[in-house]
Chain A
Amino acid sequence: MELHVIDSNREFSHIALSGKLDVEGADQIETQFQSLTSEAGRSAIVDLEQVTYLASLGIRLLFATAKALAAEGKKMIVVNPKPMVEETLLTSGTVNFIPIARGFEEAVTLLRS
């Protein structure tokens, strides 16, 4: 699992994840992911296009971070998930709390809405 910072400004951190967000993947990125987002009090745009697997621990990481952000009045948006990852977000109900955007522009619009 890799985490790539595309941009980090006053308004949000734009992060791209790649690989499997499984037990090992969630462990690998958790500290950096949270330091860039919830701990910095900065909204998050998370590109999931290269994420091939998302399940229990990945959902927990995204959800816990989004919850911490919400307490600060900030948001998390995920972008371009692959079909199975999207199904997981939809079926689990995660999408009720973390909206899905098609592309970066839509993510920024959702963030500011």
Chain B
Amino acid sequence: MNAVTSSHIVRNAGKPMPEHTCGQPEHDEVTDYLLLRTVNSREGLINLMSEAEAFFHERGLDERTIYISNLVLEEVLTNVIKYAYDDEGSHEISVELTLDPRHVQIVFEDDGREFDPLSVPTPALNGPITDCEPGGLGIHLVRKLSSSMDYSRAGGVNRLTIRLARK
């Protein structure tokens, strides 16, 4: 019964980059930025991923980077929606996408229970399948595909920042 409110709040708000970062002046002036908000529902996840993918295509990201970005969004948001909340209520999740010439940065914020994905142990990939949980593979995959992951908890909010290298 949740109202689905996946929506793009800020679309291409040409946010200036903080400093010149590398020798690519044609890209130095503007960083592409998109803030998406959704509720903790399957429909919300689908809508948000559709918005994000359209944004990546519009900005001309290569197919591999789009694939990996979608994969990270799906994994993290699925975990939040499935496991972060102790009640049946509607909760807002925000996803901030920032593109610079070298990276895609994705910042997730949710008010679910405290969860640091960096604390999840690497699954036992050499053992029998019966000793491994499927959720462990997803987090493992995200960690291996990311250039960096940072987690913090403040004011009852989980904040996960993931940077992916662009091709």
Chain A residues in the interface with B (C-beta under 8 A): 22-24, 27, 53, 55-57, 59-60, 63-64, 66-67, 70-71, 84, 88, 91-94, 96-97
Contacts and interface: CB of A to CB of B under 8 A. Distances in A.
Contact of A53 (B42, B67, B140, B141): B67
A4 to B, nearest CB: 24
Interface string B115-142: 0000000010110111010110110110
**For the side of the interface on B, what is the size category?**
20 to 34
Nearest to A94: B137
B71 A56 contact: yes
Contacts of A67: 129-130, 132, 134
The residue among B49, B63, B75, B129 with the most chain A CB atoms within 10 A of its own CB is B129
Contacts of A59: 134, 137-138, 141
A92 B123 CA distance: 10
B144 interface: yes
A60 B135 contact: yes
A88 B135 CA distance: 14
Contact of B71 (A24, A66, A88, A94): A88
B49 A64 contact: no
Interface of A is mostly: helix
Contact of B49 (A22, A27, A88): A22
Interface in B35-54: 42, 45-46, 49
B98 interface: no
Contacts of B70: 22, 53, 55
Closest A-B pairs by Cβ, 6 of them: A92-B141, A93-B125, A56-B75, A63-B134, A55-B71, A60-B134
28 contacts: A22-B49, A23-B42, A23-B45, A23-B46, A23-B49, A23-B78, A24-B46, A27-B42, A53-B67, A53-B70, A55-B75, A56-B71, A56-B74, A57-B74, A59-B134, A60-B135, A60-B138, A63-B129, A63-B134, A67-B129, A67-B130, A67-B134, A84-B64, A91-B144, A92-B138, A94-B137, A96-B126, A97-B129
Nearest to A92: B141
Contacts of A56: 71, 74-75, 78, 138, 141
A97 B141 contact: no
B145 interface: yes
A23 B74 contact: yes
B137 to A, nearest CB: 5
Contacts of B140: 92-93
